[in-house]
Structure formats: C-alpha cells, structure tokens
Structure 1
Amino acid sequence: MTNISPLNSTQHLNTSIKESKDYSRFASQSLIPIVVQEFSVLANEFPIVFVKNAETGQFTPIAMMGIKNDFNLYCQTENWESSVTPIGFSKAPLSLMQTSQNSDEVMVFIDENSELVSSTEGEKLFEKSGEQTEYLKKRSSALLDLASFTQQTAGITKYFADLSLLTPKQLTVTLNSDTPQVNIDGVYIIDEKVLNELKDEEFLTIKNKGLLPLIYAHLTSLHQIARLITKQNELDKTQP
C-alpha cells in the first residue's frame, strides 16, 4: 500500500532516499508507458507500440517488456539486466501532483511506505537548515522534465492519430513448439502505407517537426519482439 504525502522540510527533515535498480515492483506490468524523448534509446531493447485509452481515445506509447499478460520479463528479480532504462522507472518514490484541480502549480509528493525511503541511509532530501539538498533539487528537476516530456508526448501521439497514422495491430507470437501461439491485442503501430501516402505537405510537416526519427525508431523497434520471444522461451525452459 502507498502512503502519498506532500514533501516538506518539517515532516521529512531526516528523510533519505536509497538509490536502487530494483524494479521488481513492475513484475506484473508488461506494458510500460514511455515518452517520445526516449524512443531512440529504448528501441534498441524493447518493442515500442501504442495503446489507446478506451474512455478518452488518447494514445500512449509503451515499451513492451513481456509476451504474456501481466508478466514483465525484465523485472522478475531485483537485478535490472538491460543497458537501457525507461525514465519513469527512476522517479519513485517521488511524484508531482497539482496543488488543486484549478491550479497549474505542482508539488513534490513522496510515498512514505516505499522501500526506497529511509531515515538512516541514502541521499538526504533536506539540509539541517531545512533547505533542499542538491540531490532533491536534481530529482525535482527530473520530475518536471518528465512532466513536460509526457505533455509533449501526448501532443505528438494525438498528431499521429489525427493523421490516421496509428492502426490497430494484432501481434501473433509463436513460442516453443509445445506452446500455443500467443495473440497480443490492443496495440497500435504506425501504418507505413498511410505514412507513404500522405500528401507532400503533410509529410514535410512531419519532417520539419522532427518527428520522422521517432517514427523510424518505433518501426525499427518492432524487430525487438524476437528478443522478447527468446527471453520467454529461455524462461519457459527453466519452469517445471
């Protein structure tokens, strides 16, 4: 259970955060939301696809970290083995929230029940004077950057959707010979046919906005599905 509280120097003067690459809290989450600023890096390891919110119709890019529902192949142990890490993995136990529904102001919150929170070890958040430490300033800046990236990502994915570039795709994955095929539904990809048939003006606008590298990183990343298949097959071999 989480215990989210506004971060302040009075209540959290002696609070520290332990740095950790234990991401096992995502063990049952195979689809990890990401931002467009990390497409080029994450595409070297994970398939990047899009999912659609059924209520709002908004699309979100995600990194696939598993073949089977609710099973993250990378987060089953405390050891993170990949050379690349989604930005969002590193924000815990801190988060940003609006001070009120009608305000654009945000505050830093902390999950006091997180295993990363300590009073005896780790990076301190406040000096004895109550001033923020350089560590907290750096973490707060990273949270603000991520919030900005998330907003930009929402705008870009909406732009793709408005151009009808996003198309639903059922991914059919064949694992070991004694395992039935696995169908992965509910994901969307950039439709290359639609992309190539865009009007010259629309294509040039995408180019001038600097969005072509994002599209190509996404399309190239789909080859990483083979990596997930290999990891799943290797895991299945160890199961009784």
Structure 2
Amino acid sequence: MASQPLPMLYNELTPLSSSVHADWKARSINSLHFLKGHHMVPLAAEEFIDAGRSYPIIFSDGDEIIPLALMGLNEGFNTFVNEEGQLADDVYLPAYVRRFPYMLVRMSQNDTDTLTLCFDSTPGTIGPDIEGFAFFENGEPTQESKDILAFCESFEVAGQKSVAFTQELKELGLLTDGEFTFQLEGREEPFIYRGFRIVDEKKLFELRGDQLRKLNQSGALSLIYAHLFSLRLINMVFQRQLVQNPDFARSIGLEVRRADEVLDQTADA
C-alpha cells in the first residue's frame, strides 16, 4: 500500500485477493484490546442517537471535522474497555470498531479509482492457518465475504452522510471550541479539558426559521440535540477515569483508593 497515514486502529491494509488469499480464513474478533489505547472513536452521524446514550459526542478540532465518541479524557486510556478487552455492559459499540479489521480503500487501477476491500491481519484473526470461515470458495467470494463487503459499503455511505452533516454545521457557523471544566472538592484549581468542538446552543437558537426548517427536514436537528444531550455524560467519563486510572487522579492532585469512593465534582460544557 502507498505510504500514507493509516486510519486509527489499523497497522496495515492488504487488498483481499482471490488469487493471493484463496485459502485464507478469518474468525471474529472476541477482544477489544486494540481499542484500549484509544480514548476517542470516530462516529457516523446516523449513530448519534444510539451512541449518545453511552458516551459524550464531540467534534474534532481541525480542518476536517469528524464526529467522535469520547471514551476517555487522556490519550491512550479508554474507560469503557477493561484489561481483558471486554466492553462495559450495555454500551454501544461504534460501527468504526465493528468494521475492524476490514476497510474499503480507494485505489487507482488502469487510471480508475475503485474502492477495494482490504484487511489488517495483525490482530491474528486472519490468515492461511486460522480456524474460521473461508473468504473464497472455488474462486468466488463466500457469503461471509459478501456480508463483510456489504457492511463496509454501508459504512462508506454513512460516512458520506456524516461529511454532509458536519459541512452543514460548519456553513451555519454552529460549531464552537468546547471546554469541560471539573471543579473537585478540596482542590482550588479546576481540571479543564479542551481541544474539541461542540454545537453552540446560543447560535442554534439564533438561526432563522428557514434554516431551522431545513435542519429539521434533513434530520440534522435531531442529531444536533442527540449530541447536545450526550454532553451531560462527560461527568460520568471523568469519574470513570478517576477510578480506573490512579495516575490520572494523582496528576490532578487526588488519591483514589477505592472504586466506590464518591467524589463531588461538577462539569460544565
């Protein structure tokens, strides 16, 4: 593959080939250890309502605006994946993670760009010696391969819709720099989390009627409110990190000794 930055989670991307991988097999990933070191996960806009019940939804800070599920406050620490690589109970798993280790990649062939199904074999779930389902049978894709391709294709469509959604937010000037402030009892200085964007409610309320009608008709308005409501969960993420990560607690002047310690704090977005 071309030497370009790989997407989050991926260590390599190899095009799936009926000639090269004729006898290769794959099995499902049963551990999320690969996710433990990531505190944010990309989201599709259509996932906001489901994901917003589990995590705060924020937007990346930069030229390319990406919706993100915030799963921890410190880079490299995910509060929803335990040491055994299992996801917390009743928590939504973003499609970006469910797609791994597969992905559609735009590749040039005969002066034409095509989307090619690729995979990452580093998790150890794909290879010629794996016990699982076959990618090909008599040179043709198996039903499992077709299902993987269909899921990746639906993910691409959802991604395009997300780009249109974030572009609409940008054009209406609704995005603003976000800030979460946590004031802990007994600590003079608050802990402040920055470096992301959120929808500015004041600007949302100031939109003209025709602009609000357009957002409502496109379904974007319900997604905006799913995002805004989800921000109330930031206090829960902060508390999870205090309990699970003693180094983080000590870095802000606390010593958490028991998982059931109750810490009085507030969070303002």
Cα shift at 1:201? 0.8
Q: Which residue of 1 aligns with 2:94?
A: 86
Q: Which residue of 2 aligns with 1:62?
A: 68
Q: Distance in 2 between matches of 1:60 and 1:3?
A: 22
Q: Which residue of 2 aligns with 1:120?
A: 130
- Show the 5 A alignment for 1:96-175: 96-100=104-108, 103-118=112-127, 119-127=129-137, 129-174=138-183
Contact 1:21–1:80, Cα closer than 8 Å, also in 2:
no
Distance 1:175 1:96, change over 3 A: farther
- Size of the alignment, in residue pairs? 235
Q: Which amino acid aligns with 1:221?
A: S
Higher relative CO (Cα under 8 Å, sequence separation at least 6) belongs to: 1
In structure 1, which of residues 1, 14, 17 is the aligned counterpart of residue 26 of structure 2? 17
Q: Distance in 1 between matches of 2:28 and 2:186?
A: 41
TM-score when scaled to structure 2? Answer: 0.80
Cα shift at 1:4? 2.5
Cα shift at 1:229? 2.1
Contact 2:82–2:88, Cα closer than 8 Å, also in 1:
no
1:98-154: per-residue Cα shift (whole Å, max 9, x none)?
Answer: 121964421111223332214231222112x02111111011111111111111101
Higher mean C-alpha deviation, range 213-222 or range 17-26 = 17-26
Distance 1:228 1:12, change over 3 A: same
- Show the 5 A alignment for 1:157-196: 157-174=166-183, 181-196=190-205
In structure 2, which of residues 241, 257, 264 is the aligned counterpart of residue 232 of structure 1? 241
Higher mean C-alpha deviation, range 228-237 or range 160-169 = 228-237
Q: Distance in 2 between matches of 1:154 and 1:11?
A: 35
Q: Which amino acid aligns with 1:33?
A: P
Cα shift at 1:157? 0.3
SS of the aligned residue for 1:52 comes to coil
Q: Distance in 1 between matches of 2:232 and 2:29?
A: 30
Cα shift at 1:15? 1.7
SS of the aligned residue for 1:29 comes to coil
Q: Distance in 2 between matches of 1:27 and 1:173?
A: 24
Cα shift at 1:174? 4.3
Contact 2:177–2:195, Cα closer than 8 Å, also in 1:
yes
Contact 2:80–2:87, Cα closer than 8 Å, also in 1:
yes
Q: Distance in 2 between matches of 1:16 and 1:92?
A: 16
After superposition, the CA RMSD in angstroms is: 2.2
Distance 1:179 1:30, change over 3 A: farther
Contact 1:39–1:214, Cα closer than 8 Å, also in 2:
yes
1:146-185: per-residue Cα shift (whole Å, max 9, x none)?
Answer: 1111111011101101101011111123468579643221
Contact 1:25–1:75, Cα closer than 8 Å, also in 2:
no
TM-score when scaled to structure 1? Answer: 0.89
Q: Which residue of 1 aligns with 2:6?
A: none
1:28-76: per-residue Cα shift (whole Å, max 9, x none)?
Answer: 22121111011000000100011122xxx22111000002233111234
Unaligned runs of 5+ in 2: 1-9, 247-255, 259-269
Q: Which amino acid aligns with 2:101?
A: P
SS of the aligned residue for 2:141 comes to coil
Higher mean C-alpha deviation, range 75-84 or range 151-160 = 75-84
SS of the aligned residue for 1:95 comes to strand
Distance 1:39 1:196, change over 3 A: same
Contact 2:102–2:120, Cα closer than 8 Å, also in 1:
yes
1:11-38: per-residue Cα shift (whole Å, max 9, x none)?
Answer: 2122222212422212222121111011
Q: Which amino acid aligns with 1:63?
A: A
